[in-house]
Amino acid sequence: MLDHILRTALFVPASRPERIPKALACQADRVIVDLEDAIQADAKAAARQHIASFAANYPASQILVRVNDATTPWFEEDLALCRTLPSIIGIVLPKAETGQQIQHAAATGKRVMPIIESARGADNLAEICHEKGVSRIAFGNLDFSLDLGLDTGSSGAAIVLNHVRCQLVLQSRLAGIAAPLYGVWPDIKDETGLIHTAQLAKGMGFSGLLCIHPLQVVTVNAVFSATAKEIEWAERVLKIVQETGTAVFKLDGEMVDMPVIERARRIVQQRQP
């Protein structure tokens, strides 16, 4: 299954199978082996075989696979591969646009993580989130910007992208699925920008980020993990509740009530192992 707590999902190209064990050994919560953007058209079949060979050599491994989108000639063969390999525990579906596409992918028996990357996908967001088999959704900000013709990096583009991001969070909550994943930060060398983006995503209610390089994993995990100070505060709150049975009290000069207590519970539940 796909984890409820998912801070980092790291992409690795299926054309580089030697990188898959290394990706699994880093601290990413999940690894997504990519059959889509990272693979040229004439290398798709070989990439599928690489995944099959990896699964045979590492039968206890657990990976996600980003298949090619439903409009491509490779979609059915990608799904057939996912259907047969127990090591593949979930399908990442790019350019997801309809509930029917989700149903078709979910018929493999695998959980599905749709990526919203187009105006049509955003327009059908509620339908997609409510489809049986969807574990959570993710945002493909780069392809979405291309689809809408946004001026990448501009303040205007940020307004449009954040509007859609808000809808991802809201519709996920309404559908009762896990919080969504924020899109990638493309500049591998810009750690400051990555930290800012991860903090923004966390504040908006996203569960984590899609990552394109192992160097991003530790940074993103740190942002989305509770700090020692936060854990200490949460444990104090819960201890008072347990010892007194009260749901309204003061701690460090601030009022604590049921929403604050619930936040404390979540911090304790989601703290980094």
Binding residues for substrate: 66, 117
- Spell out where the chain has E strands: 8-13, 30-34, 63-66, 88-93, 111-116, 138-139, 181-182, 208-211, 249-251, 254-256
Q: Which residues are paired to 63 by β-bridges? A: 88
Q: What is the pLDDT along the chain (273 residues), one digit of tens a residue?
A: 466 789 999 999 999 999 999 999 999 999 999 999 999 999 999 999 999 999 999 999 999 999 999 999 999 999 999 999 999 999 999 999 999 999 999 999 999 999 999 999 999 999 999 999 999 999 999 999 999 999 999 999 999 999 999 999 999 999 999 999 999 999 999 999 999 999 999 999 999 999 999 999 999 999 998 888 888 888 999 999 988 988 899 999 999 999 999 889 888 877 654
Alpha carbons 145 and 165: distance in angstroms, whole number: 12
Annotated binding-site ranges: 66, 117, 143
CA distances in angstroms from 137 to 54, 117, 186, 243, listed in the order given: 26, 11, 19, 39
Rounded distance between C-alpha atoms, residue 263 and residue 179, angstroms: 15
Point out the annotated binding site for Mg(2+): 117, 143
CA dihedral 102, 104, 109, 110 (to 10 degrees): -40
Residue 229 belongs to what H/E stretch? helix 228-244
Q: Which of 135, 208, 204 is nearest to 176 (CA)?
A: 135
Q: What is the CA radius of gyration of the chain?
A: 20
Domains of the chain: 8-224 (3.20.20.60), 228-270 (no CATH)
Collapsed DSSP state (helix, strand, coil) of residue 137:
coil
